[in-house]
């Protein structure tokens, strides 16, 4: 059996998935015995555009262990997030880790992780070995950047950064700082810090908002949770685009666009009825907390079906059982009978996945495409009875579904670390759905929230088309069903600018439905939307991974796809299962320190070194490095969050070297600002935060 050794194929493409952030990174000295560098400070900066979040998480560590130490940095990367940069500062020098064409090294000092560290890091940790020893009584600063699509639910958006570090270190640290900056074309009705962290400041002017939380000399024991609400009367399509000069791109595919679509479904009378089956693993490994939570989730689903829905429950171990031998209409009587059936489920036996599908899928023979035909599959283990080989099991499930001559949407949920992630991912992606992977204690919450999101379907089998032929590489492909209160996020490329009509098509009640929207493709760089390159690359990589894992890994097609993923990952700076942060480039970015030019080893003519300090009040130093013989003036343009030019500065450039220019914002209001540095042939972009 071919098994995936990566924890990467989780909920990706999957605009409806929970994107739970995890906590601060760990400086691991001995993973087995739990010896770590002391965490002394944390700083989290999140820049959010509508629902696209770019987070920079920085930790300050102190080596108080009495001798020089070899250290590996481990960061619990959020589910659904893609890391885009890792850098660290040691002995006064910043180092940037380029992306390497090889999987990350998961070996840690001291060997196997202890239970607390393993639970803390979760399913998808990011590992990076600091190449130099950290000297005794010295500081190590590590910063990791990642991009993610935040969870959206009926106008509410959630940003979650668990800051509870007590599994690693239950001690006071000097500082805990969070700066959350939100921009939105859609009106921000409200924003609040839901958690009990101290609120330093909060602003909301309708299209931009900030939340600042600072705490000093305290134990990091409270998770950061922010909730904001977007106006529910402003539904439709919101688009973003930017055209970066070809000289700065690794391809010739053109500009970048992204749109977020949420059609107005009209009245709830337009909700499509469901034909629904829950397939529940009740094998022996599900005993304890898992089976209790799974039963609670099943009861929630049964209690929240819609009038007009039909449903069934299939539960399996070595043997397979069924609530009814067909789908039954939802009523008070069938609901109560199903709840009693669920209550009597207990865990024992082996894992007969093929048998479960052999029982469940034929029930859909009586369904048709006028309904949303949905399977939710819940398991915590590998198949051990019946068909156990991955390729054969996939073919078995696919043939069963094809025999029904009905389109079925299959969503899989794997619990714990023993599931076959490749099997569940392919099983779902081949049958119009997706897979999510949960920790043991997340079952009830994740399943019930997922069901709430798919409860009311309004558009099935959606597709997107454009009035212009100059649009290419659109992802995800295929699109997922659209449900009331949910959205789809689509990115792509374009080679010609100008307005274009976007047509979103699908089925409702077995009838074609279309929505038409306008999208503008600009012909110039927009500094606010630099994140579009990362989101597009992330979505394309995820699409290619599904294709790759459906092939024999030694086939020429798979080898070519793998190389394409590696090339895309390196070119756009988005980590994939086949790439990692590798041998560093040394970069010194402190504004008051000299830069050793020989340490700036990068391809390209110019490199932006950011602004320091950031956040700032009222001035900051904007810094960059020139890697050629450019002579002339570089123009620094400053924009506010609305894209309006607020300042323009010229700086003389005399060839290769480090440059810094001070910008004073004392006459302006607090908030997010963007800056562009123009060299004539290239433009560099970034953003900064001014806090009075």
Among 227-236, 280-289, 596-605, the minimum mean pLDDT is found in 596-605
For residue 686, the cross-strand partners are 675
SS3 assignment for 571-625: HHCCCCCCCEECCCEECCCCCCCCCCHHHCCCCCCEEEEEEECCCECCEEEEEEE
Q: pLDDT band for 270, please (50, 70, 90 cuts).
A: low
CATH of domain 606-690: 2.60.40.1930
Among 127-136, 337-346, 447-456, 599-608, the minimum mean pLDDT is found in 599-608
Across residues 272-295, what is the average pLDDT? 91
pLDDT at 498: 94
For residue 43, the cross-strand partners are 58, 177
Q: If you average pLDDT over every residue of the chain, what do you get?
A: 86
pLDDT at 396: 95
pLDDT at 275: 94
**Residue 17 near residue 11 (C-beta atoms within 8 A):** yes
Task: Give residue-wise pLDDT tens across range 669-678.
Answer: 888 888 888 8
Structure-token pair, residue 414:
């794997």
Across residues 591-613, what is the average pLDDT? 61
Burial class of residue 319 (count of CB atoms within 10 Å of its CB; 0-12, 13-18, 19+)? middle
Give, for 249, the enclosing helix (H) or strand (E).
none
Token match 């993973």: residue? 31
**Beta carbons within 8 Å of 19's beta carbon, 6+ residues apart:** 11, 78, 79, 80, 81, 148, 149, 150, 151, 160
What are the strands, taking DSSP E only, across 287-342?
A: 310-316, 320-322, 328-329
Structure-token pair, residue 239:
């688009």
Listed ranges 16-25, 330-339, 404-413, 653-662; the one with the highest mean pLDDT: 330-339
Question: Alpha helices of 305-352 — where are they, by DSSP H?
Answer: 332-343
Residue 53 has pLDDT above 50, yes or no: yes
pLDDT at 66: 93
Instruction: Report the 10 Å Cβ neighbour count for 668.
Output: 15
Residue 187 has pLDDT above 80, yes or no: yes
CATH of domain 26-230: 2.60.40.3680
pLDDT at 510: 65
| 26-230 and 606-690: identical CATH topology | yes
pLDDT at 585: 45
Among 225-229, 314-318, 340-344, 594-598, the minimum mean pLDDT is found in 594-598
CA distance 356 to 278: 10
**Residue 493 near residue 466 (C-beta atoms within 8 A):** no
Among 198-202, 379-383, 449-453, the minimum mean pLDDT is found in 449-453
pLDDT at 509: 64
Length of the chain, in residues: 692
Residue 201 has pLDDT above 50, yes or no: yes
CA distance 661 to 418: 54
Q: pLDDT band for 489, please (50, 70, 90 cuts).
A: very high
Classified as helix, coil or strand, 454 is helix
**Residue 672 near residue 183 (C-beta atoms within 8 A):** yes
Across residues 459-474, what is the average pLDDT? 91
Give, for 437, the enclosing helix (H) or strand (E).
strand 435-438
Domain ranges for the chain, please list them: 26-230, 241-268+458-574, 272-455, 606-690
Q: pLDDT band for 8, please (50, 70, 90 cuts).
A: very low
pLDDT at 536: 95
Superfamily designation of domain 272-455: von Willebrand factor, type A domain (3.40.50.410)
Q: pLDDT band for 439, please (50, 70, 90 cuts).
A: confident
SS3 assignment for 75-89: EECCCCCEEEEEEEE
pLDDT at 523: 92
Task: Note the Cα 518 to chain centre separation in Å.
Answer: 27
End-to-end CA distance of the chain: 59
Across residues 601-620, what is the average pLDDT? 79
Across residues 380-405, what is the average pLDDT? 92
- Percent of the chain, pLDDT > 90? 49
Residue 137 has pLDDT above 70, yes or no: yes
**Residue 294 near residue 378 (C-beta atoms within 8 A):** yes
Across residues 328-349, what is the average pLDDT? 95
SS3 assignment for 494-507: ECCCEEEEEEEEEE
Structure-token pair, residue 623:
């810094």
Task: Give residue-wise pLDDT tens across range 492-531.
Answer: 999 999 999 999 998 876 678 888 999 999 998 887 888 8
Across residues 187-203, what is the average pLDDT? 95
Across residues 543-557, what is the average pLDDT? 87
Across residues 278-295, what is the average pLDDT? 91
User: Going edge to edge, which strands form the sheet with 151-153?
Assistant: 151-153, 156-161, 224-230, 188-193
**Beta carbons within 8 Å of 414's beta carbon, 6+ residues apart:** 379, 380, 420, 421, 424, 435, 436, 437, 438
């Amino acid at each position: 059996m071919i098994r995936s050794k990566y924890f990467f194929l989780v909920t990706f493409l999957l605009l409806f998935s929970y994107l739970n952030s995890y906590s601060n990174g760990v400086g691991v000295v001995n993973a087995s015995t739990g010896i770590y560098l002391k965490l002394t400070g944390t700083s989290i900066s999140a820049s959010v555009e509508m629902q696209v979040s770019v987070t920079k998480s920085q930790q300050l560590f102190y080596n108080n262990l009495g001798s020089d130490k070899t250290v590996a940095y481990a960061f619990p990367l959020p589910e659904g997030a893609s890391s885009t940069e890792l850098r660290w500062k040691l002995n006064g020098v910043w180092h940037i880790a380029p992306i390497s064409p090889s999987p990350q090294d998961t070996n840690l000092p001291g060997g196997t992780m202890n239970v607390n560290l393993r639970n803390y890091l979760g399913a998808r940790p990011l590992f990076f070995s600091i190449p130099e020893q950290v000297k005794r009584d010295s500081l190590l600063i590590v910063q990791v950047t990642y991009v993610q699509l935040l969870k959206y639910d009926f106008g509410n958006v959630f940003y979650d950064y668990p800051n509870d570090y007590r599994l690693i270190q239950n001690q006071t640290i000097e500082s805990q700082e969070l700066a959350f900056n939100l921009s939105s074309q859609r009106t921000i009705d409200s924003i609040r810090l839901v958690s009990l962290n101290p609120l330093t400041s909060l602003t909301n002017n309708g299209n931009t908002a900030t939340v600042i939380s600072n705490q000093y000399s305290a134990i990091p024991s409270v998770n950061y949770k922010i909730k904001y609400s977007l106006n529910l009367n402003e539904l439709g399509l919101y688009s973003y685009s930017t055209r970066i000069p070809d000289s700065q791109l690794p391809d010739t595919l053109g500009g970048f666009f992204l749109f977020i679509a949420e059609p107005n479904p009209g009245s709830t009378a337009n909700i499509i009825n469901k034909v629904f089956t829950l397939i529940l693993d009740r094998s022996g490994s599900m005993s304890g907390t898992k089976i209790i939570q799974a039963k609670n989730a099943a009861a929630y689903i049964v209690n929240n079906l819609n009038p007009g829905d039909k449903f069934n429950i299939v539960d399996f171990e070595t043997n397979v059982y069924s609530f009814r031998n067909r789908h039954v209409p939802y009523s008070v009587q069938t609901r109560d009978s199903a709840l009693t059936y669920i209550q009597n489920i207990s865990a024992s036996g082996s894992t007969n996945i093929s048998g479960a599908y052999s029982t469940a899928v034929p029930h859909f023979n009586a369904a048709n495409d006028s309904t949303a035909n949905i399977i939710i599959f819940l398991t915590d283990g590998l198949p051990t009875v019946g068909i156990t080989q991955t390729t054969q099991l996939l073919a078995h499930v696919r043939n069963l579904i094809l025999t029904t001559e009905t389109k079925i949407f299959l969503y899989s949920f794997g619990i714990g670390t023993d599931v076959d992630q490749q099997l569940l991912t392919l099983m779902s992606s081949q049958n119009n759905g997706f897979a999510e992977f949960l920790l043991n204690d997340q079952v009830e919450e994740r399943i019930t929230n997922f069901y709430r999101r798919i409860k009311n379907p309004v558009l099935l089998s959606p597709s997107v088309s454009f009035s212009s032929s100059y649009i290419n590489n659109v992802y995800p492909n295929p699109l997922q069903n659209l449900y009331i209160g949910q959205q789809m996020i689509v990115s792509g490329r374009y080679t010609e600018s100008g307005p274009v009509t976007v047509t979103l098509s699908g089925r409702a009640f077995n009838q074609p439905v279309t929505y038409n929207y306008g999208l503008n493709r600009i012909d110039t760089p927009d500094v606010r939307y630099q994140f579009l390159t990362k989101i597009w690359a992330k979505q394309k990589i995820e699409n290619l991974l599904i294709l790759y894992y459906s092939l024999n890994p030694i086939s020429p097609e798979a080898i070519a796809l793998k190389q394409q993923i590696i090339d895309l990952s390196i070119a756009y700076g988005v980590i994939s299962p086949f790439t990692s942060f590798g041998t560093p480039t040394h970069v010194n970015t402190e504004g008051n320190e000299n830069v050793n030019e020989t340490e700036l080893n990068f391809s390209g003519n110019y490199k932006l070194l950011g602004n320091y300090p950031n956040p700032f009040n009222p001035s900051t130093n904007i810094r960059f490095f020139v890697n050629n013989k450019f002579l002339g003036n570089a123009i620094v343009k400053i924009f506010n969050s609305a894209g309006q030019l607020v300042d323009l500065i010229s700086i003389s450039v005399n060839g290769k070297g480090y440059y810094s220019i001070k910008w004073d914002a004392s006459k302006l209001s607090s908030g997010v600002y963007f800056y562009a540095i123009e060299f004539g042939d290239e433009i560099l972009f970034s953003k900064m935060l001014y806090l009075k």
